[in-house]
Amino acid sequence: MKSRAILGLLADGQVHSGESLAASLGISRTAIWKQIRRAMDEGFRIETIRGRGYRLLTEVDLLDADRVIQGLDAHRRSVVDLTVLDEVDSTNAEIVRRRREVAAGTVPVCIADCQTAGRGRRGRQWQSPRGQNLYLSLGLTFQGSFAMLDGLSLVLGVALAEALEHQGLAGVGLKWPNDIFLGGSKLSGILVELQGELEEGVVQVVAGIGLNVHMKDGAGVDQSWSSLAMAAPERSWRRSDLAASVINSLLGATDEFAEDGFGSFRARWQSRDIFSGKSLVATQGELSGIGRGIDESGNYLIEGGNERVRVRAGEISLRVQQ
Ligand code: BTN
């Protein structure tokens, strides 16, 4: 977004004179006028008030790296290596590229204003319109084996749900293994990608979060979806604050998972299970039955007749039978 600097100054919705804008950016008033025109060409509505200046009429929620850092728990600020980008193919791909440059012990985090090739689970695309939603990825390192990934996937779902509840959102549900649902529609998805084994027993993963924030027009989204703006329009959601809250919660939860395993997450996941007691069918295969929550490792339990079948994350998708 070329007009980012001027929008940053106008984002408060107040009237700003050409002179004060020029002084703030260290450029001429003619250059300010050009920037105003460019912002209008990019689709932002800006009112010109004769003799007074300019006022932004479109609501903008710019990503602000300083605000994200300020929102982090104090003891995490030095651990997080944050990159905020205007545009990227995929924040998950960016973490893979950056990982080599990041000091050991730090967690690379990337947030982008838009993604040109956002990816979802099962090879799907993740629609990533500019300025609308949160696209955030973290590079995580664990001592252990690949077997821990099933549990991790659910842990991230719990952490994301708890972050949203911490922000005051009620009714957050989890659809196994880790989709975040609100009122029967998908609000957020998590893509966990294995980056590889650094050395024997040290596993690197990239966790990517897509959270619908301001989106009201989901052109190209192929499933029932919601956004924070649609679910709670009375709130003024800021992506930078949400990002900080999500990072805090995810890092807290993954530390706990690395220390103590999946144990405490089972009940936290189960209490938000949207499949519990519902008649389910697997999208591939013959399996169907009643949803009975997860076992101690995060496998989903389906009861049919007298038996309970365990379904492993990554093997199968479940949906409610119509
Ligand atoms: C899903 O299909 O539910 C997972 C969606 C994950 C989307 C996020 S957006 C940030 C990160 N970068 C990507 O390319 N994908 C994830």
Domain range holding 114? 65-270
**Cα(107)–Cα(78) distance, integer angstroms:** 9
Our count of domains for the chain comes to 3
Q: Of the residues 56, 73, 101, which one is the last residue of a structural domain?
A: 56
pLDDT for the residue numbered 318: 63
Which residue's entry shows tokens 């009429």? 57
What is the SS3 assignment for 261?
Answer: coil
Nearest atom (ligand 1) to Cα of 112: 10
Domain end residue (candidates: 270, 290, 307): 270
pLDDT at position 312: 83
DSSP 100: G
140 and 157 assigned to the same domain: yes
pLDDT at 100: 85
> 92 CB less than 6 Å from ligand 1?
yes
Residues 142 and 206 in one domain: yes
Determine the pLDDT at residue 201. 86
Residue 130 sits in the same domain as residue 234: yes
191 touches ligand 1 (CB under 6 Å): yes
Residues serving a catalytic function are 121, 186, 319
Read off the tokens for 231. Answer: 């679910």
* Cβ of residue 120 lying under 6 Å from some atom of ligand 1: yes
189 lines ligand 1 (CB under 6 A): yes
Cα 207 to middle of ligand 1, angstroms: 8
CA distance 42 to 40: 5
**Same domain (yes/no): 43, 185:** no
Per-residue pLDDT at 281: 87
Question: Which pLDDT score, from 0 to 100, does residue 11 have?
Answer: 86
Whose Cα sits closest to atom 11 in ligand 1?
Answer: 208
Q: Is 39 in the pocket of ligand 1 (CB under 6 A)?
A: no
The structure tokens 């989903």 sit at 300
Same domain, 44 and 185: no
Question: Would you state the pLDDT for residue 3?
Answer: 77
Residue nearest to atom 10 of ligand 1 (CA): 135
From residue 123, how far is each of 16, 34, 58, 146 by CA, in Å? 46, 42, 35, 21
Could you tell me if the CB of 119 is within 6 A of ligand 1?
yes
Task: Tell me the backbone φ, ψ of residue 127, rounded to 5 degrees.
Answer: -60, 130
Which residue lies with its CA nearest to atom 9 of ligand 1? 210
Q: Running along the chain, 322 residues long, what does each successive block of 10 average in pLDDT?
A: 82 92 94 92 90 91 95 96 96 94 93 96 91 96 85 95 96 95 95 81 93 87 89 93 98 95 95 95 80 93 89 68 58
CA 4 to chain centre: 22
CATH of the domain at 185: 3.30.930.10
The pLDDT assigned to 104 comes to 86
* Ligand 1 contact, 208 CB (< 6 A): yes
In Å, how far are 10, 25, 60, 123 from 57, measured between CA atoms?
Answer: 9, 21, 9, 38
What CATH number is given to the structural domain containing 20?
A: 1.10.10.10
Chain centroid, CA 163 distance in Å:
11
**pLDDT value of position 322:** 53
User: Do 83 and 222 share a domain, yes or no?
Assistant: yes
Substitution candidate for ligand 1 out of 85, 134, 135, 193 with most atoms within 8 A of CB: 135
Q: How far is the CA of 277 from the centre of ligand 1 (A)?
A: 28
Q: How far is the centre of ligand 1, averaged over its atoms, from the C-alpha of 156 (Å)? A: 13
Q: Phi and psi of 271, rounded to 5°?
A: -70, -10
Residues 111 and 214 in one domain: yes
Say yes or no: 287 and 141 in one domain.
no
Q: For ligand 1, pick from 135, 188, 191 the residue to mutate: most ligand atoms within 8 Å of CB.
A: 191
Let me know how long the chain is.
322
Q: Answer whether 89's CB lies under 8 Å from 117's CB.
A: yes
The reported pLDDT for the residue numbered 198 is: 64
Characterize the bridge pairing of strands 80-85 and 107-112.
parallel
Beta-carbon-side half-sphere exposure of residue 39 (alpha carbons within 13 Å): 27
Report residue 187 as tokens. 């609000």
The pTM of this model reads 0.90
Q: Find the largest Cα–Cα distance for the chain.
A: 79
| Cβ(127) – ligand 1 distance below 6 Å | no
DSSP string covering 226-273, please? --HHHH-TTS---HHHHHHHHHHHHHHHHHHHHHH-STTHHHHHHTTB
Going by the DSSP 8-state scheme, the letter that residue 194 receives in this structure is E
CA of 118 to the centre of ligand 1 (A): 6
Same domain, yes or no, for 241 and 166?
yes
Ligand 1, atom nearest to 133 Cα: 9
Torsion angle defined by CA atoms of residues 274, 277, 278 and 284, in that order, rounded to the nearest 10 degrees: 90
- Residues 69 and 173 reside in one and the same domain: yes
- Same domain for 113 and 237, yes or no, is yes
Do 286 and 181 fall within a single domain?
no
Other beta carbons within 10 Å of 294: 27
The two tokens of residue 207 are 């966790």
